[in-house]
Structure 1
Amino acid sequence: MELQHFHDYFEENREKHLQELFEFLSIPSISSLSEHKQDVERAAQWLKNQLEQLNIENVSIDPTAGHPVVYGEWLHAEGKPTVLFYGHYDVQPVDPLNLWETEPFKPEIRENKLYARGASDDKGQVFMQLKAIEALFATLGTLPVNVKFLYEGEEEIGSAHLPAYIEENKEKLSADFVLISDTSMYGPGKPAICYGLRGLAGIQIDVRGANSDLHSGLYGGGVQNAIHALVEILSSFRDKNGKILVEGFYDDVRPLTEEERKAFADLQFDEEALKKELGVDELFGEEGYSFLERTWARPTLEINGIFGGFSGEGIKTVLPNEAGAKITCRLVPDQDPDKIVALLRRHIEKHTPKGVTVSVNEFDNGAPYLTPFDHPLIKAASRSYEKVYQVPAAFTRGGGSIPIVATFDQILKVPVVLMGFGLSTENFHAPNEHFHLENFDKGLRVLCDYLCEVSKLSL
């Protein structure tokens, strides 16, 4: 099928599609706020209706211990690959509301950008998957591949109940690969295929000294200060160049290949421009690695917050008896979050000063993920991007974490292809979230072409 046929279809139906997207974006499906529980369910019902209108079969709203999952399938492309579409229909809260130029759930187009909560993350991109299927049916009379759909309502609160759903339904969800549109392009007019994500391991350290705060004049110099003890522990984690000093931390790190390092270098990332944008004199990190390599393919250990003692106006001369810190580590293939937490516990125990006790509590845990960027599915995605955008697609890794991606890998044991159409500047999770309609228009055509490309592969 010529790309022009898809182009013509989307041109003819653009206003209709935008009005439908406006309906979807108008539903305040904020998963973290209990008062929006019915709105989340309304968004699930809206998706169910859309799938049924597309003649997708076995469409259902499946309950979980939290918000529901929407499922559907069409399996009549005999001998062709099966793709499992994944996305989420829940959105972030809108606070602070006063910073929005227009109401977050009243979509508005300004300067060819669609403003609304969820426009880019992820309702707009989920909607594109549906409309690509609609266009294929309309232009081909059928689909070139088999399709399944899995849309959840808890991504913005950590997908707490989705892994159990996937485990319980892994036969129903079986596919040749998972396709996700919930990532960003490299920049305006620069499509990107994200082939890897870092994992996550987080802990909270709580330090306790005496049984109460103490007068610094009566006890200072004679009793351990919980904050000083905490600082000593924290300073033991890294050297002055950012190298992590936890014994065994790097043991399982998969090194970058020379091909990957060249691909990153070819992106010609402007570190000087980044320094200016951030208002810093120097960037920081492991010696011997570029900024992209540090943030995409090297592990980290960061202090996210410190608490303890007196921080009000003026001064209070006490020895704090309690202090704490929150730590997160971004992990890379083949690091295991549970092993990293165990190494952190051992390191903290080894470096705890006398006079205090320390407890460590674990939170936020997700494995890293990597699909080889020479995989046929990745190469096919690159071809489709280039056909539409007329420039080669960049191969990138994501510095952040999408834990559910690793869940798909571990339970379904299939590749995950991340084909996003957002831009990092589109204010997702912030006021005035928006989606560039240029990428909405082009992305629809990319998705159609990609499914046709995939139909030619032997997987």
Structure 2
Amino acid sequence: MNIWQLPVFLVLTSNVSPFQFGELFQYVDSHQQEYVETLRDWVAVESDSSDMLKRSDLHQMMDMTAEKLRAMGGKVELVDIGEQELPDGQKLALPKVVAATFGSDPSKHTVCVYGHVDVQPAKKEDGWSTEPYNLTDINGNLYGRGASDNKAPVLAWIHTVEAYQALNQDLPVNVKFIIEGMEETGSNGLEAMIVAQRDTFFSNVDYIVISDCGWLSRRPALTYGTRGNCYFFAEVEGPKQDLHSGVFGGTVMEPMTDLIGILDTLISPSGKILIPGIREAVAPLSDEEWKMYQDIEFDIESYKNKMGVDQLMYSSKVDLLAHRWRYPTVSIHGIEGAFSGSGSKTVIPAKVTAKFSIRQVPDMDPAVVKKQVTDYLHSVFAKRKSPNKLKVTMIIGAKPWLADTKHPLYTAGKAAVKRVFNVDPDLIREGGTIPIARTFQDVTGKSIIMLPIGGFDDGLHSQNEKMSRYNYIEGTKLFITYLHEVAKIKKTPV
């Protein structure tokens, strides 16, 4: 049995703080209930960015965030990023982005922390055991929508600055915050804001830290890569209106049949992508990566139990991790226009639209993937000799992000994890997409690290999302320690 299989209370008692961090850590421990209550206040705000009727709640959440940072003496600005145009042509104000600065010592590094305070939709009737917007503490787990994604990590960074201030200790680095309210729906307006402020707010930033991710197991982790996402609509249109299958069935070539037929050519039952050129563009798995995956803590049986399945597509840990993180995948998400209500309806839909995505990895390019998918589906469709019309559209083309694990930011991360948790972190990648990481990298040219504190079982985007009190409090200590480690990085003269 290793340390991560021990009960949480044993892990807590075995954690010894180095002397130089003792006072800061003691402050965090003595204020943990206050931190939980602040999280409770934040979770209570239904900042669902996908629900236009809750836009006022989202504005309130941004104001609360700004006021919290102002009360700490930060230089805070609420940056207007414009409006969002709805499908009906109506325009709605986007939530302002919070930009805050603590410290401006040119002799110190400047670290910019990115986070978001909007959340996914949640209702009790969706299957929650507790009220999703009422933070509920059960056996040390803090249940509530947004608790892990991403309100507790944002607050942990804020508590980090607060602890230094309360003890009259200088921050070892200058700290900036960029906190948005539209991450869950695509970060509308944020890229333009980053471009506009590249030579102002970001001009003196040395490093960017993102904590919008989680651990793979009970072992702490540092994240160094995410997959991109190419999201497609494939529309097949035939008759001018829906038809009765008894009257017209057998006499027309049905759009749904065409659509199902071409979707079946995207991927094989074993998971092999059949679109020419996709697999050939993927960077091969190196021996170093294979060894890294082999050493990562990952329990296959727990993974299966978490999803409620009896069989996975691969049986080895390395194959599973590689196909989860660094190989592309095709997923079919739904069909619009098809009958989907309860009961029976003998209809032939006149127009149907499939929604599918391809998670992409280095060295794939969204523009190339768009052409490959479009050309392939049209060629497959042509072979059906159907009179129906096919239209393929790519609506998202987010690039993958990959960092150098030998960069000093990761050296600092390893040292911080070792100090706080007394273990070496796993170096992991995320199968999902965090487009803002690549945006920061491309626009600002700054180095980025993903430093997660969320647990592997937090249930992000799902029912019963939670952040454990342990991860929340010890995560704050991790951030405190990380700033000290970053301060040790030799500053390059300008």
State the match for 2:394 in structure 1.
362
Which residue of the partner structure matches residue 26 of structure 1? 44
Identity %: 32
Give the structure 2 partner of residue 347 of structure 1.
376
Correspondent of 2:79 among 48, 54, 62: 62
Distance 1:286 1:229 in 2: 34
Match of 2:145 among 102, 117, 142: 117
- Please give the alpha-carbon distance, in whole angstroms, between the structure 2 residues aligned to 1:44 and 1:448: 24
**Distance (Å, rounded) in 1 between the aligned partners of 2:345 and 2:472:** 55
Query: What is residue 238 of structure 2 aligned with on the other side?
Result: 209
Matched, 1:179 2:209: yes
The 2-side partners of 1:279 and 1:11 are apart by: 37
**CA distance in structure 1 between the partners assigned to 2:423 and 2:430 by the alignment:** 21
CA distance in 1, matches of 2:127, 2:268: 40
1:94-243 equivalences under 5 Å are: 94-97=122-125, 99-139=127-167, 141-171=169-199, 172-174=201-203, 175-188=205-218, 190-212=219-241, 223-243=252-272
Distance of aligned partners of 1:170 and 1:213 in 2 relative to their CA distance in 1, 3 Å threshold: same
1:431–1:135 distance in 2 versus 1, CA, 3 Å: same
Q: Does the aligned pair in 1 maintain the 2:290–2:318 contact within 8 Å?
A: no
> Which amino acid is the alignment partner of residue 465 of structure 2?
E
Question: Contact conserved, 2:227 with 2:361, CA < 8 A, in 1?
Answer: yes
Q: Distance in 2 between matches of 1:249 and 1:98?
A: 37
Q: Which amino acid aligns with 1:326?
A: K
> 1:30–1:92: 8 Å Cα contact kept in structure 2?
yes
Per the TM alignment, residue 222 of structure 1 is displaced from its structure 2 partner at its CA by 5.7
Shift in Å at residue 245 of structure 1? 2.1
2:11 aligns to what? none
State the SS of the aligned residue for 1:2: helix
1:290-325 C-alpha deviation (Å, 9 max, x unpaired): 111001010112211235666664573x66543331
Q: Counterpart of 1:17 in 2: which secondary structure?
A: helix
1:85 and 1:179 in contact (8 A); partners too: yes
Q: Secondary structure at the match of 1:129?
A: helix
The question of whether the paired residues in 2 share the 8 Å contact of 1:31 and 1:157 is answered with yes
Q: CA deviation at 1:396?
A: 0.5
Q: SS of the counterpart of 2:223?
A: strand
Amino acid at match of 1:383: A
- CA 1:86/1:216 → structure 2, altered by over 3 Å: closer, same or farther? closer
Structure 1: state its 5+ residue gaps.
Answer: none
Moved more, 206-215 or 404-413: 206-215
User: Structure 2 CA distance, aligned partners of 1:131 and 1:55?
Assistant: 13
Question: Counterparts of 1:378-417 in structure 2 under 5 Å?
Answer: 378-417=410-449
Match of 1:3 in 2: 21
Q: Which moved more, 1:239-248 or 1:326-335?
A: 239-248
Q: Deviations over 1:260-289 (max 9, x none)?
A: 211111125333443454444432269996
* Residue from 337, 341, 351 that aligns with 2:366: 337
Change in CA separation of 1:25 and 1:211 when aligned onto 2, cut-off 3 Å: closer
What residue ranges of structure 2 are gaps of 5+ in the alignment? Answer: 1-18, 83-93
Contact 2:44–2:134 (Cα < 8 Å) also in 1? yes
Aligned to 1:121, what secondary structure does the other structure show?
Answer: helix
TM-score, structure 2 normalization: 0.85
Aligned length, in residue pairs:
456
Residue of structure 2 equivalent to 1:451? 483
With 154-163 and 69-78 compared, the bigger mean Cα shift is at 69-78
CA deviation profile, 1:411-451 (whole Å, cap 9, x unmatched): 11212211111123223333432210111111111101110
Match of 2:295 in 1: 266
Equivalent residue runs for 1:28-47 within 5 Å: 28-47=46-65
Q: Distance in 2 between matches of 1:105 and 1:392?
A: 35
Q: Distance in 2 between matches of 1:49 and 1:205?
A: 45
Cα gap change, 1:157 to 1:216, in 2 (>3 Å): closer
Q: What's the CA shift string for 1:316-354, capped at 9, x where partnerless? A: 3x6654333111000112322222112111111111121
CA drift of 1:11 comes to 2.2
Q: In the alignment, what sits opposite 2:119?
A: 91
Distance in structure 1 (CA, Å) of the matches to 2:317 and 2:462: 34
1:382-436 CA distances to partner (integer Å, 9 max, x unpaired)? 1111211112100100000111111111111212211111123223333432210
CA 1:218–1:53: 2 relative to 1, 3 Å: closer
* Structure 1 residues 45 and 309, CA gap change in structure 2 (3 angstroms): closer
For the structure 1 residues 118 and 231, does the alpha-carbon distance in structure 2 shift closer, same or farther, using more than 3 Å as the test? closer
Change (3 A) 1:90 1:211: closer
353-362 or 437-446: which moved more?
353-362
Structure 1 residues 225-234 or 322-331, which shifts more?
225-234
Deviation at 1:455, TM superposition (A): 0.5
Q: What is the alpha-carbon distance in structure 1 between the residues aligned to residue 246 and residue 436 of structure 2?
A: 53
Per-residue Cα deviation, 1:243-273 (whole angstroms, up to 9, x for no partner)? 2121221343222322121111112533344
* Pairwise CA distance, 1:159: 0.5
SS of residue paired to 1:122: helix
The answer to whether the Cα contact below 8 Å between 1:243 and 1:286 also exists between their aligned partners in 2 is no
Match of 2:71 among 48, 53, 63: 53
Of 14, 35, 38, which aligns to 2:32?
14
- Which of the numbers 273, 276, 283 marks the counterpart of 1:244? 273
1:426 is aligned to 2:450: no
Cα 1:315–1:253 change in 2 (3 A) is: same
Alpha-carbon offset, residue 29 of structure 1 = 2.3
SS in 1 for 2:335: strand
Deviates more, 1:389-398 or 1:303-312: 303-312
Secondary structure of the residue that 2:148 maps to in structure 1?
A: coil
Aligned 8 A contact 1:227 1:308 in 2: no
Relative to the length of structure 1, the TM-score reads 0.91
